[in-house]
A and B are shown apart, each in its own frame.
Chain A
C-alpha cells in the first residue's frame, strides 16, 4: 500500500517536471536563448577563448616557460616606443573617426537630398570603398603612394611641384594612413547616417518650418537630436574597429618610417610574430581593451541616459 502511494507520488513529480520543461520551452525568452545558443558557442570559441588565451600568454616570460604575472605590462610602461605607439594609436583612431563622421554626415545629407530615382546609384557608388576588401584597396593606395613611382607625385610633377614623401616622412606617412582609413570607413558612416536621416519624421521639419526655423536651426534642433544615438553608436563601433586596425598600416608603411606609424595591432604583430616575443606582443594587444572599454562605457552610458530621458 505504502509502495503504491510512493510510486504514485514519484509519477506525479515526474509529470510535473515534464510539464515544467514544456512550459519553459514555450517561453519566448527560452526559445530565444536556445536559438542564439549556437552563436553564443561560436563566440565563446572564437572570441572568448582566444581573449583568455592571450591574457594567459601575456603573463608568460619571453620563452613562454614560466609565469611572470604583470611583468610584461610593467616592462612596456618603461618603453619609449610603447608610449609612442599609444599616442599614435589615439591620433590615428580619433582623427580618422572624426573625419569619417564629418564626411559621412555631409555626404549623407547630399545623398538624402538627391531625388529618389537617382539615389540608389549614388548610394551604390559611394559604398564602393567600404565594400572592396581593404587589403586590395590598400595595395592600390600603396601604388599611389609608392616612394619612387607615386602616381600622385607624377601628377604633382606635371604642375612643377616637388614630390611628396608620402610614406618616407613621419608626418606624411601618418597623414597617408589616416587618409586611407577615412576613405575606406567614411561610406559606413554615410549609410548609417542616411538611414537615420530617413527615419526622422517629416512632420518635425514641417513644424519647425512653420515656427520659422532656418536650415541651421532645423539641423541643430531636429536632425542632430534625432540622430544622436546613431551618431554615438557609429562612432563607438568605428572607434573600436579603427583602434584595432592592422591592414592599412601594415600594407602602406609597415609601421615606418622609424616606427612613426605603428598602431597597437601592427606593433603587437611586429613584436610577437616577427620578433618571436609572443608574450610581449599579446601584452601590447591587450592594451586596447581598457582604452576601448572606457570609450564604450562613456558612449553607451550617454545613449542609455538619453533612452531613459525619452
Chain B
C-alpha cells in the first residue's frame, strides 16, 4: 500500500505558508483567543445572589474573547477557607478567588498587587473606609480589591413595635428613611436600659456570646466603642487597661439581660431568634429580615435595620468586607485585572447588590446610596441606613487595630466573647484578663 510521503521540500513549503499566514493575519481571533480565566467566587446565601456576577462575567468574557469558568464556593463548613489554603499550598488553582476579610493579608505574599486597579476604582467610586485598607494592604500595596459580594455591616436589626412598647425607643424616628440619623441618644447605656426593659417584657434582645463570627463582631465593636483594644497597632498587648475593664464590666451587665443560651449561639441563632418573634433586637445584616419576609412576614414588617449605639470612644459598627484577589501564580493576570475592573464599575456593583436584595455592601463611599436600600420593604426604608449612608458610625472589624496577623488569631479564637463568658460565669476579672493576655502572647509568633 502506498502512503503519502512528506518530503523535506514539502515540509519547508507548508511551514512557510503557515508562517506567512500567521504574520499576515494577527488580528484574526478565535472564540477564546485571549485565553482562559478560572474564578472562585463566594457562593451567595441569598437565592439568585450569584446570577448577576455570572452574567457580568459571561458578558465580559464574550466581549474580550476569554473563556471564563466560575466555581461558586460555599463558606458553609469553611469550604472557601479550605480552598484558599489548598490553593496557596499547591500554588495552583483559580486565577481569581474571593477572600473573606482576614485572608488577603495572610496570603499577601502569594497575591498579585492590584494598586493600579484600586487607583482606578477609587477615582470612579470614591474612597474606601480605613478598615478595607487595614485588611487588604500589605507592604504598602493593595493585594486585593474590596467586593460588594458578601460584604456586610452587622448592625442592629430591631423590632419597631417591641422597642417602642417595651423600651420606649422609636427606631424609625431615630433612623428615618431618606434622611440623616437622629441618634444622639442611642448610646450603649440606652441599649443597656432597653435590654433590661425588653428582658422584663419577655422579649430579650439577642446578642450572642458564642465563638462564631456574628458574636465576635458585635463584641469587637462594643469593645472599640470603649477604646478597648486588646493589642495596639504596634503589636503591644494592652489587655490590662481601664478601657478593657470598662468594656468587660459593661458586657457583664448587658449579659444578664440576654437570653440564657447566648454563650451557645452560632451564626444562625440570632436569625432564628428574631424570626421566631421572640427577640426585640439582633445584630445582623439584612439576611434575617429577608428570611423573615419569606417565612414570617408579620415579623419582617416590624423590622428596621439601623446604626450601632455609641460608646465613650465613638460609634463603631462591625464591618466584614469580602475581597477579590489574583494569585501571583495566575497565568492570565492581565485578563484577571481587566475583569475585576469591569465587575467593580458602579453599574455592575448595582446589579450585584440588587441580585442580593440589598445584602451585599460596596466598600466605596459613592456607592452607599443605591436605590435598592431606599426602596426595600416592607416596611419601606427598612434598609436605608444599612450601608451607613451618612458615615455616622466608624466601620471596623473586631481586634482592629492590632496588626492583622495577630488580629486574625484574636478574631478566630473569639477571645472577646470567651473573656465575656468567663467573666459573666463568675471568674474574677483579673484572672480573665490574665488568661486573655496569655492567649494573645501566643499569637505573637511569626
Q: A interface vs B, CB < 8 Å?
A: 61-63, 75, 79-81, 147-149, 163, 165-168, 173, 253-259, 269-270, 272-278, 280
Contact = CB atoms under 8 A, between A and B. Distances in A.
Given A61-B445, A79-B442, A148-B278, 20 more contacts: A62-B445, A147-B259, A147-B264, A148-B272, A165-B264, A168-B260, A168-B262, A254-B210, A254-B211, A254-B266, A257-B263, A258-B421, A270-B413, A273-B78, A274-B412, A275-B412, A276-B103, A276-B409, A276-B412, A277-B409
Interface residues of B, number: 38
8 nearest A-B residue pairs (beta carbon): A147-B261, A168-B264, A147-B264, A275-B412, A167-B264, A276-B106, A274-B412, A257-B263
Given A61-B446, A80-B438, A167-B264, A148 B412 contact: no
A149 B418 contact: no
A274 B78 contact: yes
Contacts, number: 86
B328 interface: no
B210 A148 contact: no
B261 A168 contact: yes
Contacts of A257: 210-211, 263-264, 421
B272 A168 contact: no
B399 to A, nearest CB: 12
Given A167-B264, A258-B263, A75 B445 contact: yes
B269 A147 contact: yes
B371 to A, nearest CB: 36
B418 A258 contact: yes
A273 B81 contact: yes
B265 interface: yes
B273 interface: yes
B42 interface: no
Given A75-B442, A79-B442, A275 B408 contact: yes
A81 B439 contact: yes
Interface string B253-284: 00000011111111001001100101000000
A115 B106 CA distance: 63
Contact of B272 (A149, A253, A270): A149
B319 to A, nearest CB: 19
Given A147-B269, A274-B81, A258 B422 contact: yes
B266 to A, nearest CB: 7
A63 B212 CA distance: 24
Given A63-B446, A167-B264, A257-B421, A148 B212 contact: no
B442 A148 contact: no
A277 B413 CA distance: 12
B82 interface: yes
Interface string B418-444: 100110000000000001001100100
Given A80-B435, A149-B272, A165-B264, A273 B446 contact: no
B78 A148 contact: no
A273 B85 contact: yes
B112 to A, nearest CB: 19
A54 B260 CA distance: 41
12 contacts: A62-B405, A80-B435, A149-B276, A165-B261, A256-B210, A258-B421, A258-B422, A269-B78, A270-B412, A273-B85, A275-B412, A276-B103
Contacts of A165: 260-261, 264
Contact of B413 (A61, A148, A275): A275
Contacts of A270: 412-413
A309 B366 CA distance: 83
B83 to A, nearest CB: 10
A41 to B, nearest CB: 21
Given A75-B445, A273-B78, A256 B264 contact: yes
Interface of B: 78, 81-82, 85, 89, 102-103, 106, 210-212, 259-266, 269, 272-273, 276, 278, 405, 408-409, 412-413, 418, 421-422, 435, 438-439, 442, 445-446
B265 A147 contact: yes
B139 to A, nearest CB: 13
A256 B263 contact: yes
A19 to B, nearest CB: 42
Contacts of A80: 435, 438
Contact of A148 (B102, B276, B439): B276
A151 to B, nearest CB: 14
Contacts of A276: 102-103, 106, 408-409, 412
Contacts of A79: 442
Given A147-B269, A148-B259, A274-B81, A256 B408 contact: no
Most buried by A among B102, B261, B278, B435: B261
Contacts of A62: 405, 445-446
A151 B263 CA distance: 19
Given A147-B265, A274-B412, A259 B418 contact: yes
A168 B85 contact: no
Contacts of A256: 210-211, 263-264
A165 B103 CA distance: 34
Most buried by A among B82, B263, B446: B263
Contacts of B422: 258
Most buried by A among B85, B264, B412, B439: B264
Nearest to A79: B442
Contact of A254 (B212, B273, B408, B421): B212
A181 B435 CA distance: 31
A58 to B, nearest CB: 13
B278 to A, nearest CB: 8
B269 A148 contact: yes
Nearest to B278: A148
Most buried by B among A81, A163, A280: A81
Nearest to A277: B409
Nearest to A275: B412
Contacts of B272: 148-149
A80 B272 CA distance: 35
A165 B446 CA distance: 39
B270 to A, nearest CB: 10
Given A273-B85, A275-B408, A275-B409, A148 B261 contact: yes
A165 B265 CA distance: 11
B409 to A, nearest CB: 5
Contact of B263 (A168, A274, A278): A168
Contacts of B435: 80
